Amino acid sequence: MQTVESIKALRERRHEWRDEGKRVGFVPTMGNLHDGHLKLVKKAAETCDVVIASIFVNPLQFGQNEDLATYPRTLAEDKKKLTAQGADLLFLPTIEEMYPRGLEQQTFVEVPGISSIICGASRPGHFRGVATVVCKLFNMVQPDCAFFGQKDYQQLQVIRLMAQDLSMDLDICGVATQRASDGLALSSRNGYLNDEQRKLAPMLYKTMQDVADKLHQGDTNLMQLSKSAVDKLSQYGFKPDYIEIRNGKTLQAAASDDKHLVILAAAYLGTTRLIDNLEVFR
């Protein structure tokens, strides 16, 4: 696997692949790779001729009190994993390459509506940072198809809308959440959990599964379902941010006859913010 840091070197390689008629798959990440990321790379390798992955811890999507400085950086291991999974090229831009005029001067992309609800309400500016960096990465990589995890459900919807609104010529492919054997969604931030918190963490998914069961049984009191799930999480020892049952596509409040719902959850264990979601079709 080749590694490039400059947009120029990336484009040279990209143009060669275009001339050869290759279909290019792209997997953007922030590194500290786990089996969830590798599932995206695998899917890209199965459906495209070449796979470009990127690692960039994007300051624009971190809030002031968030973990930008401590976000785990494990480049040597990440490179080995990407190579083993069949990635062809790693794009590793520096902060200067990504934001040459500085963060303050940066033109941004904002997807209205969806960016300010749920996780966007808890993390103001987060989805603007994500949309901006993903738009820039798309312009740099010019992929035929880009792969994102459903673990970050709202992020995936934001990116789908951005691509649609800005008439981007690429496919966005969502990939199902990879879980540990006890149900916990794999996430780089799981590494922050101590042993006790790690044991408790799967209760987030378990609580969402209980909500899904009730929805399947015909329970239509969504407010009450959310509220009792939040109460349950608190009893277990989480500090819940939200549990929301929303329309699975728009993420707006679910109507009583919506067939596609999504349960979205965010909760803290100590200072670690975990997110997860579960789609329900009824």
Ligand X SMILES: Nc1ncnc2c1ncn2[C@@H]1O[C@H](COP(=O)(O)OP(=O)(O)OP(=O)(O)O)[C@@H](O)[C@H]1O
Ligand Y SMILES: CC(C)(CO)[C@@H](O)C(=O)[O-]
Out of 23, 160, 189, 260, the residue judged to bind ligand X by CB under 6 A: 189
Query: Cα–Cα distance between 127 and 150 in angstroms, integer?
Result: 15
Around Cβ 78, how many Cβ atoms within 10 Å? 20
Rule CB under 6 A: say whether 54 interacts with ligand BAL.
Answer: no
The reply, when asked if residue 21 is annotated as ligand binding, is no
For ligand X, the closer of residues 82 and 225 by Cβ is 82
Rule CB under 6 A: say whether 152 interacts with ligand BAL.
Answer: yes
- The count of chain residues that interact with ligand X, using the rule CB under 6 A, is 18
Provide, rounded to whole angstroms, the least separation between the CB of residue 209 and ligand Y: 24
Report the DSSP pairing between strands 260-269 and 272-281.
Answer: antiparallel
Local structure of 176: helix, strand or coil: coil
Amino acid code (one letter) for 208: M
Query: Cα–Cα distance between 267 and 241 in angstroms, integer?
Result: 5
Rule CB under 6 A: say whether 162 interacts with ligand X.
Answer: no
Q: Judged by CB under 6 A, which stretch of 89-97, 132-140, 147-155, 248-256 contacts ligand X? A: 147-155
Which stretches of the chain bind ligand Y, using CB under 6 A?
Answer: 28-30, 58, 61, 130, 133-134, 152, 155
Q: What are the Cα distances from residue 212, in Å, to 85, 149, 222?
A: 34, 20, 11
Asked whether 111 and 158 are in contact (CB, 8 A), the reply is yes
Provide, rounded to whole angstroms, the least separation between the CB of residue 278 and ligand Y: 19
**Binding-site annotation: residue ranges:** 30-37, 61, 149-152, 155, 186-189
